[in-house]
Structure 1
């Protein structure tokens, strides 16, 4: 089991937005306006035009152009991503989110869009998750998937969700008949005692896919940015691999929908971190007995409560509202 209270996180908030009072000629003009107003509100930030993933860019908030959100210049709307610094779990992060969204709503219009999402990166400190810890999280991601699906809109699950597909679509799992078989496959990967086999079982992508053919792939390859849970950052925890496209040493929960208010973002952060902590508490015990269906909402809540207790949190905060909205 991983040591408790050793987690930290970062959050990426994708937004389709525009100024309430003036038209911006391009994305950079909007980004400069957003940066100026956040600085005035006390949120240290910078514009990261090249989406550079080097550690220096995670010391404060950064503003990145989000290419997966189509710009709408005629409507003065632009796709933008706010990327947080690395936050310890016991710090002022929730108040920062409140300040950010209060500032944005005062001067900008934030438009709901199925193209927007909220991504949460979680890492452990001082050491990265071990192979067994990563396998425990992989098994939890598979087992609790039906309950997590109920917390997100239809655009973030099923065939509509290209950028957050089920990890069971990975070539390492997709040919298996039951959930129990999938959990057993993760156990088999963990038995190798290394991180890579665990990552590969849940984050492979087909060489025969359009992306694979376009990039000349002759065998299935690691690609995490299309799955609900992206573990590929663990491959670069010490080696700097994965082409610099993934935040190093983290697992990423990619399924949450876009956040339009601080409580939305806080709920997804709280849920993701508590889920990882809860999975560490459960360990590798999930599986066996011919499991053919995943967890209920009640089971998911119990896991999150266990994770919150492990983290020393008194409650699950905004997650309670998320459950109330989706429970019916």
Structure 2
């Protein structure tokens, strides 16, 4: 049950950012200014120049160069990623996030970019079992069309954000067969492989010398950080677009946490032969808001506004 899991999460916010007061000649110069301004606002942080992913880098906010967001040096704009510390589902994270964006907007410009995205990393205490991961995986597969409708179409067509259903394990199976396959997963690594296997015959696989299909993290929901026995890694939701406000980030956090929490309790009621309707996704997400304690669901309500279900209960058995 989701009520037996305490959810934690981390946020990766990709930005195309420029200083309002300085014309920086390098990314490090810009990052140093961001770090200084955040520190003065009471936000502990550091510049993680090497993008080191060791645990100590997640004790406070870190600033990382984001190479997938092209720099526009002539416009004083730089690709930068803000990585949060490990956060819990209490109200403190909302206030914390508001201070971060208030600080950024007072000293920097945050430009729109199709290259930016927002990633939400989820973990639980205790660690999710194979059965719980399978429940989340089933919900991901079943509700993919509804989640796609809530998010920008560009985020469903990116190389870095592919459908989990398109992987070599699942692509030829019906939804009912996908569910049956996941029912046989007795270990978390089995769920990881089911959801995130990538073909050795792909351009990436050939370029890197793979002779067998391999686990890869380019899917909408990335399970690859859970791929190692005894792993305390995260499940990553990669489909959210770039965010330029605290409210936008809050919406994506609420959606990711609530969906995962609701799926643990609600997946057993999904009929894989049913018709996906938005009302059933709302039912899963609103249940997850309550069981996870993620907050007031203000952002989620705005996201679903005008997209409610038809009144049919297509997903539930």
Distance in 1 of aligned mates of 2:91 and 2:282: 24
Q: Which residue of 1 aligns with 2:225?
A: 233
Report matched runs for 1:36-75 at 5 Å: 36-75=36-75
Q: How far has the Cα of 1:238 moved from its partner? A: 2.7
Is residue 2:197 matched to residue 1:200? Answer: no
Contact 1:17-1:78 within 8 A present in 2 as well: yes
Distance in 2 of aligned mates of 1:2 and 1:212: 37
SS of structure 1 residue aligned to 2:11 = strand
1:326–1:51: structure 2 CA closer, same or farther, 3 Å change rule?
A: farther
Q: Which residue of 2 aligns with 1:81?
A: 81
Report matched runs for 1:175-194 at 5 Å: 175-176=172-173, 178-188=174-184, 190=185, 193-194=186-187
Contact 2:258-2:294 within 8 A present in 1 as well: no
Q: 1:162 aligns with which of 149, 159, 169?
A: 159
Distance in 2 of aligned mates of 1:15 and 1:281: 35
1:87–1:72: structure 2 CA closer, same or farther, 3 Å change rule?
A: same
Is residue 2:254 matched to residue 1:273? Answer: no
| Count of residues paired in the alignment | 309
Distance in 1 of aligned mates of 2:295 and 2:172: 42
Q: How far has the Cα of 1:135 moved from its partner? A: 0.4
Q: How far has the Cα of 1:315 moved from its partner? A: 2.9
Calculate the TM-score normalised by the size of structure 2. 0.93
Deviation sequence 1:80-122 (CA, Å, 0-9, x none): 0000000111241111111111111111111111110000011
Gaps of 5+ in 2: 310-317
Is residue 2:214 matched to residue 1:221? Answer: yes
1:43–1:237: structure 2 CA closer, same or farther, 3 Å change rule?
A: farther
Is residue 2:155 matched to residue 1:153? Answer: no
Q: Which residue of 1 aligns with 2:112?
A: 112
RMSD, aligned CA:
1.8
Distance in 1 of aligned mates of 2:294 and 2:88: 13
Q: Which residue of 2 aligns with 1:245?
A: none
Contact 1:135-1:284 within 8 A present in 2 as well: no
Distance in 2 of aligned mates of 1:237 and 1:283: 25
Distance in 1 of aligned mates of 2:205 and 2:147: 29
Contact 1:233-1:250 within 8 A present in 2 as well: yes
Contact 1:7-1:122 within 8 A present in 2 as well: yes
Distance in 1 of aligned mates of 2:257 and 2:294: 11
Contact 1:238-1:249 within 8 A present in 2 as well: no
Distance in 1 of aligned mates of 2:269 and 2:280: 15
Q: How far has the Cα of 1:232 moved from its partner? A: 1.3
Calculate the TM-score normalised by the size of structure 1. 0.90
SS of structure 2 residue aligned to 1:182 = helix
Q: 1:252 aligns with which of 236, 243, 265?
A: 236
Contact 2:278-2:307 within 8 A present in 1 as well: no
Distance in 1 of aligned mates of 2:270 and 2:4: 20
